[in-house]
Structure 1
Amino acid sequence: MGPLTPDGTEIVVGLVCFFLVFGVLGKILLPRIERTLAARQDATEGGMVRAEEARAEAERIYREFQAELSTARHEAAEIRQAAAEEGAALLAQLRAEGLEQRDRAVAEAKVQLEADRVLVEAELRADLVRLATDLAGRVVGESLDGLPRIQAIADEFFGELDTARV
């Protein structure tokens, strides 16, 4: 037999082996390959779906975070505004109290100065009368301390001086 005409038994054995290998491949190996490919496709597509879900969840969390951050900034601005207003009110109150205390101190000082002026003026008038009496006594050559008219003259002089001052 030649290469172009095969032996019948070889063809039968070859066909049996072919179908046997084809059957084993078709029944055992190909389903495993298909399951593996399906698992890979599911992992790839499922990974993309999970990635999309994770991205959507991250965006949702980011929006919530931005909303909370905006709320916190708004609250902080309100707190700063309230603190500024409270500080301004406190400053105005303290300024008013300070002005009130200053006015009170100035009024008390004026009263005290007027009282001191009256006392000093009375002392100076008494000293002036005494010095004038001593000087007049030296000019005359005798003591004028006991004369009753000296106080009347001094009172008349100071009365004229007070009238001229007004």
Structure 2
Amino acid sequence: MIAQPLIAAGDAEEVGHATGWGSELPIVPHPSELILSLVFFAIVYYVMKKYVVPRLEAVYAERTAEIEGGIEKAAQAQAEAAAALDEYQSQLAEARAEAGRIREEARTQGAQIVAEMREQAQAEAARIVSSAQQQVAAERQQAVVQLRSDVGALATDLASRIVGESLQDSARQSRVIDRFLDELEQAETAPTSGRVS
């Protein structure tokens, strides 16, 4: 068993001499591999630098611009919304003030209308009372005239029967009626004044 690893180590030395590595370390690459690796790395680096990186940077710049534009748009929209809110609140405050002013004017006008209506009602009531008083006075006067006429006719008839003369003469009839009515009025006022005193 010890012989096998030694043989394997010897085989590796022979392989190393055959490839030209000799007793060099196996982790150090061969110069041709190193050159080919460097050439491939340069090609990949060139392709990446020429095509891939600019595209990535363009996409990155585009995304950054979109994000910044979105942020700016959001900030602008927020500023517009704040301005609209301020304007709405100021309009609402103005509308409330206007509504309060209109309510106050309506109250004032309502009180004024009520006062005017009260004055009109009082004036109308005074006019109706005055008209009624005038009408009552006219009707009373008419009733007094009618009553005087009726009482006069009755008095004339009665006096004619008592006296036994005809009182058809209008002048005589008028004098008798007036005298009778005067006596009647004096008789009415005498007991009233006696009761008062």
Whether the TM-score (by the shorter chain) exceeds 0.5 is yes
Alpha-carbon deviation of 1:8?
Answer: 4.5
Asked if 1:160 corresponds to 2:187, the answer is: yes
Q: Structure 1-normalised TM-score?
A: 0.79
Which is further off, 74-83 or 124-133?
124-133
Asked if 1:115 corresponds to 2:133, the answer is: no
CA deviations 1:23-55 (Å, max 9, x no partner) are: 110232112202211321232233123212211
| 1:145-156 mapped onto 2 (5 Å cutoff) | 145-146=167-168, 148=172, 150-151=176-177, 152-156=179-183
Which is further off, 56-65 or 154-163?
154-163
Alpha-carbon deviation of 1:18?
Answer: 2.1
CA deviations 1:107-163 (Å, max 9, x no partner) are: 12212211220221121122123224435656x595653484742234312332255
Residues 154/38 of structure 1: CA separation in 2 closer, same or farther (3 Å cut): closer
Residues 129/16 of structure 1: CA separation in 2 closer, same or farther (3 Å cut): same
Distance in 2 between residues matched to 1:114 and 1:61, nearest whole Å:
77
Which is further off, 51-60 or 147-156?
147-156
Q: Structure 2-normalised TM-score?
A: 0.68
Across the two proteins, how many residue pairs are aligned to each other? 164
Residues 154/57 of structure 1: CA separation in 2 closer, same or farther (3 Å cut): closer
Percentage identity across paired residues of the two chains: 34
5+ long unaligned stretches in structure 1:
none
| 1:12-161 mapped onto 2 (5 Å cutoff) | 12-135=35-158, 140=162, 145-146=167-168, 148=172, 150-151=176-177, 152-161=179-188
5+ long unaligned stretches in structure 2:
1-18, 21-25
Residues 165/101 of structure 1: CA separation in 2 closer, same or farther (3 Å cut): farther
- Between structure 1 and structure 2, the one with the greater Rg is 2
CA deviations 1:48-74 (Å, max 9, x no partner) are: 232122112211211111101211221
The question of whether the paired residues in 2 share the 8 Å contact of 1:137 and 1:143 is answered with yes
